[in-house]
Amino acid sequence: MGGQESSLFRTLSPFLLGVWVAAGCSVDVGKLRRVTSPDAAVERPRGDDVSATEEVAGGADAGAEGPADMVDSAGQETDARVSDDGRDAEAADAASLDDAALPDVSGGQDEGSGAEAGGGVDGAPDAPQAEDAPAVSVDVGEDSQPTDVALEVGGADAVDDAIDVEGPVATDATDGRRRDAFTRPDGPASPITQYSIPTANSQPWAITVGPDDNLWFTERSGNQIGRIVPATGGIDEHPLPYPGSEPYDIVRGPDDNLWFTEYGGDRIGRISPGSGSITEYALSGGSSPAGIEASTRGNYLWVAEYSANRLCRIATTGSFVEFTLPTANAGAAYIVTDPQSGDYWFTEYAANRLGRTTINGAITELASLGSDVGPYDITVGPDGGIWFTEYEANRIGRVSAMGMGSVATYPIPTPDSQPAGIAAGPDGNVWFTEHAGNQIGRITPSGAITEFPIPGQDSQPAGIVTGPDGNLWFVESGANKISRIAP
């Protein structure tokens, strides 16, 4: 992998090394595969005197589910049981979905729709726009065979900086919190506003919008869940019960609580936006839960277990069922809901693949994206396509959400930028962070990329989300800040 070593891999290096050694650096690039055997689901019974089994519609696709160990905010362990209502709702949802094999799609990538590249961010001059980026297509249809992919370079090779940033100018926010403002040599302010996190070196990683219209974020090194008020920049923090939990991803759950993964603690956590009370549910040791996504068709969430090579579906009651991925040591990283089908797309970082699962755990994988690609974060774009970052290959990728068609990839102008987080913007474009490039990127549905430099150095931006105020909010894991940029 080119570029500087980032906090993503410094922290995750022990299991990444194990994944690659176990895999022998060899990845199967064959046809699409499905898992329909009951062996695909791993039963996780919990407790000595409590057991539960979930009958999931779909026959051979069903998995066995057991109650998780629950730990309340005071650190006391209790038994979590599956509610009858939750179980019946999941089974009904599963029975209503079609888990047939995904169709073959030919004819190249889908044409994106939506807003074209326009002017710069408010407060900054219009940035030079790239020509429609040349897409690199990899055929991953059902009958496809792995082939070498040649990259044709055309159009603009790079995009100039949208702004020229110099020196910090300390200013006071109206609420008394410290805020950094940066100016160009000729005066206009940077489009990026930054807010410092009270806990030093907290390593913020993921960010989401809560039901209270505030932004909630994880602090991997700070071992806390933070909240920032968009209107004022005010930040409060909530410590986790156990040290070394390393909270990773966070999302608003179907129950209007915030749910998060504890990568270092092998737990799933839940925090109430009203009271701040925290409840934790233990997974099996060594699972390393990373990405988490809420379901749109039931009271449960999906989790990518990086080290355990599984996907986990957890109900809001705390009971869960796990499904093993077809490719060994694939390294599931992030997961997103396809709102059209109700299925879930996920990235396999170590296996250089994308995958898709139905609500009842029928998993299909795309053919390999190549070597040293590192697909990481994933989102549904305003155009309905599935967009993802290729951390190692320095590209943004897109695949049609309707089936296993071709994957289009767009090289990022800045070399070795290590694209990490990605999110749909309110402007019809997709926005992403450049972990090593110290920039925020914007890509149009047609593939034109514009980059905006972040004030300061070594900011190491990670997660990004569209806020309730219509701005893009992102975390700076290296600079220990929460920041926003207007689209």
**pLDDT by residue, tens only, the chain of 487 residues:** 333 333 453 444 333 333 333 333 333 322 222 232 333 343 333 333 322 223 233 333 333 343 344 444 344 433 333 333 333 333 333 333 233 222 222 233 333 333 333 333 233 333 333 334 444 333 333 333 322 222 222 233 222 223 333 222 222 333 333 333 332 333 356 799 999 999 999 999 999 999 999 999 999 999 999 999 999 999 999 999 999 999 999 999 999 999 999 999 999 999 999 999 999 999 988 999 999 999 988 899 999 999 999 999 999 999 999 999 999 999 999 999 998 888 999 999 999 999 999 999 999 999 899 999 999 999 999 999 999 999 999 999 999 877 656 899 999 999 999 999 999 999 999 999 999 999 999 999 999 999 999 999 999 999 999 999 999 999 999 999 999 999 9
The answer as to whether 169 is a domain residue is yes
Helix ranges, 273-333 (H): none
Number of domains present in the structure of the chain = 1
Q: Report d(CA 277, CA 182) in Å as an integer.
A: 37
The answer as to whether 143 is a domain residue is yes
The answer as to whether 287 is a domain residue is yes
The pLDDT value given to residue 405: 63
Structure tokens at 100: 């047939």
> Which amino acid type is present at position 283?
L
The answer as to whether 35 is a domain residue is no
The pLDDT value given to residue 40: 37
The answer as to whether 202 is a domain residue is yes
The pLDDT value given to residue 190: 75
> Which amino acid type is present at position 135?
A
The answer as to whether 102 is a domain residue is no
Q: Which helix (H) or strand (E) holds 311?
A: strand 310-315
3-state helix vs strand vs coil in the chain, percent to 5: 5, 35, 55
- How many CA atoms does the CB half-sphere of 328 hold within 13 Å? 9
The answer as to whether 477 is a domain residue is yes
Q: Report d(CA 334, CA 284) in Å as an integer.
A: 19
Residue among 174, 172, 224 nearest 198 (CA): 224
Sign of the dihedral through C-alpha 142, 144, 145, 150: negative
The answer as to whether 396 is a domain residue is yes
Residue among 354, 356, 424, 416 nearest 391 (CA): 416
Q: Which helix (H) or strand (E) holds 262?
A: strand 258-262
Are 351 and 331 a contacting pair, CB within 8 Å?
Answer: yes
Are 62 and 56 a contacting pair, CB within 8 Å?
Answer: yes
**Residue ranges making up the domain that contains 318:** 7-24+137-153+160-485
Residue keyed to tokens 């409590």: 50
Residue 279 makes CB contacts below 8 A (sequence gap 6+) with 70, 71, 72, 73, 269, 270, 271, 318
CB atoms within 10 A of CB 40: 23
Entry pTM:
0.69
**For the chain, what's the residue count?**
487
Q: Report d(CA 27, CA 23) in Å as an integer.
A: 7
Can you give the CATH number for the domain in which 236 is found?
2.130.10.10
